[in-house]
Amino acid sequence: MMSLLVRKSLTCLNFKNSSFLRQSHVSLSHYFCTKRETQHVDTPTVSEFLLHKYHFSPEAASQVASVLPRLKNTEKSDSVLSFLKESGFSGTQLEKIVKYKPEFLLANLEKVIKPKIKIFLDFGFSADEIAEIVSKEPLVLHCSVKNRLIPSLSALKGVLGSKVDLAKVLKSSGWILVRDLQKTLVPNVEFLKSCGIPFEQIVRLIPTFPRFFLLKPKIMRKSVEKADQMGVDRSSGMFIYAARVVSSMSNESWELKLKAFRDLGFSEDDILRVFRTAPMVFSVSTKKLKKITEILLETGKYDMSCIMNTPTSLLYSVENRYRPRLQVLEVLEKRNLIKNWPALGTVNLTSDKKFFEKFVAPYLDEVGEIYTGKNVQKGR
């Protein structure tokens, strides 16, 4: 009798517990489902967040969302973007940074972002300068403050001297900060100075040819030796350009470039003379060298001696400079509006504004249709 009562009690208990558990399961399931739905509704997609909160363009928002489809913590991303915006970054600059590396939306503001901005401020950069430098090279926000950013800024400032020159370099080539400048820039500048290159010229060219100054010192020395072998005088203002040109080419590429000049009719002496006076010409592609030579010879007004004596004529654009100018001169000659064509140096070295004033403006009815577009509208 007692065992029967115990079994009934256990059965009743099991039934009650089962009912309770079933009810609890339904209740908990409903809770978690509702919770997930609420979270889904409350948490915007990356695209929505960027479009509505920070007014990114649909293209930019979509691009970022393709890499980072959802944010787990919008507050974290909001703090990063809000800080940068308050620090002087425009909407366009924020777009550039986030498009470059969407993971910046997940960055730790205090540990990753703020220290980098503070370093730039400590070096005397204005908010506008910082925004321009960082937006052009967002990778600086990803490098180590201690191991890379501070040493690079210090080395670059030590070489350039002034903050003005420092800002100029970084606005055009901020990526230079992620390199080890103590192993490249610093020894290269010292070596070039020892070669007699004026320091003022070095400072002026660093923003223009930053990669040249970041060559391995061994390659830099070989480039200088090659310029010496080609007979370029170290006291010449062209020496550093000559060293840069040879540094950009392998031995095979160099030989192919020499062959291209020979094929155009340049003698060995002509090649050496051009390299010594206008080494930049050797950076022009073989295709362009051939095209410029052809279009100048086709006029019947200039021959190879003109080109060889004015080697910088090989630097200019066929479509934007030569073709419209030569067509204008051809029309003017046919209509007896000019007796003689200008020297080749005048054709290629004259600014757009001066060429327009001398050869187009006085004869606008005759050549206006040829020399149209930006040149006429802006008078450049």
Q: How far is CA 143 from CA 116, 140, 177, 252, in A?
A: 9, 5, 9, 36
How far from the centroid of its chain's Cα atoms is residue 85's Cα?
23
Euclidean distance between CA atoms 277 and 312, whole angstroms = 9
**Per-residue pLDDT, 369:** 78
Which residue in this structure is represented by tokens 């509505």?
52
Cα angle 214-219-220, degrees, rounded to a multiple of 5: 65
Spatial contact of 276 and 238, defined as CB atoms under 8 Å apart = yes
Tokens of 265: 């009719």
Q: How far is CA 190 from CA 106, 199, 231, 337, in A?
A: 42, 9, 22, 56
Burial 28-56 (b: 16+ CB within 10 A, else e): eeeeeeeeeeeeeeeebebbebbbeebeb
- Mean pLDDT, consecutive 10-residue stretches, the chain (380 aa), reads 43 43 44 42 78 91 90 89 96 94 93 96 95 94 93 94 91 93 96 95 93 97 96 95 95 94 95 95 95 96 94 94 94 92 93 92 85 47
Tokens of 103: 């993971």
Euclidean distance between CA atoms 344 and 175, whole angstroms = 40
Cα angle 246-249-254, degrees, rounded to a multiple of 5: 80
**Per-residue pLDDT, 372:** 66
Query: What type of residue is 258?
Result: L
The torsion angles phi and psi of 39, rounded to 5 degrees, stand at -65, -40
Q: How far is CA 229 from CA 242, 258, 267, in A?
A: 11, 15, 17
Which residue in this structure is represented by tokens 């008078």?
379
| Residue 208 DSSP label | T
Q: Of 170, 255, 162, nearest to 206 (Cα)?
A: 170
Which residue in this structure is represented by tokens 């003005």?
164
Spatial contact of 109 and 76, defined as CB atoms under 8 Å apart = yes
User: In degrees to the nearest 10, what's the CA dihedral of 244, 248, 249, 251?
Assistant: 60
Query: Residue 39: CA atoms inside 13 Å, Cβ hemisphere, count?
Result: 10
Spatial contact of 157 and 176, defined as CB atoms under 8 Å apart = no
Spatial contact of 262 and 271, defined as CB atoms under 8 Å apart = yes
Cross-strand pairs, 45? 70
pTM of the model: 0.77
| Residue 248 DSSP label | T
Query: What type of residue is 42?
Result: D
**Per-residue pLDDT, 79:** 95
**131: buried, middle or exposed (CB in 10 Å: 19+, 13-18, 0-12)?**
buried
Tokens of 135: 């937006």
Tokens of 146: 């201690």
Euclidean distance between CA atoms 180 and 148, whole angstroms = 7
